[in-house]
Amino acid sequence: MLCLASESACDICLDAFDNKHKVPCVLDCGHVFCQSCIPRVDPPVCPVCREEFDPQHFIKMYGINIPTTTGPLYSEASHIRKAIEDVINLGTTETEVPGLIAECKAFARLREQEFDDLRNTCRLLVHLCNVQTRLNQHERLVKSLQEERVNFQASENDLRRKLNETQSSMIDLLK
């Protein structure tokens, strides 16, 4: 059975194909546009390959398997997409991201073939989290080294002062 990808849309009006008003129609050249756009193409040349076509002659692909993009699965997918968008646009905290990743993974596991975008974004989030964790570890290390340096500096100053004191008392004794 002929099957359109879920994001298939008419290149003229950019609307998704359906089996009612936006029926996909194939021209003689092989390019596909929706039923409502084809009669409006004037002059009648294919917008993709510029081949002339007969506006009365094209094949409507009724009954084609157009994947539904509605239903609970799709609204959950768009909910997750929105959450990811928020992370990208507004930033997030380290405690929030693992929850989103878990949600993303659990959802992607439901569907093996679809929602590749969510699967890929999930991988990206996991990677970013790992990078962030490593950065935080480095930051903590740098901070503790800096503290150590300050402490060393203090004890060095202390030792120098004591050395000076000892030297001057020795000089006093030798007088």
Token pair recorded at residue 42: 């004037």
# binding residues, Zn ion (CB under 5 A):
10
Closer by beta carbon to Zn ion, 25 or else 80: 25
Report, in Å, the least distance between residue 42 CB and Zn ion: 14
Cβ closest to Zn ion, residue 19 vs residue 92: 19
12 binds Zn ion (CB under 5 A): yes
CB of 60 to Zn ion, least distance (A): 13
Closest CB 31 distance from Zn ion, rounded Å: 3
Residue number with CB closer to Zn ion (29 or 128): 29
Residues 26-65 that bind Zn ion (CB under 5 A): 29, 31, 34, 37, 46, 48-49
How far is residue 132 from each of residues 25, 101, 105, 118, 122, measured CA to CA in Å? 49, 14, 19, 21, 15
Which token pair is 165? 């004191």
The least CB distance from residue 124 to Zn ion, in Å, is 33
- Chain residues that interact with Zn ion, rule: CB under 5 A: 10, 12-13, 29, 31, 34, 37, 46, 48-49
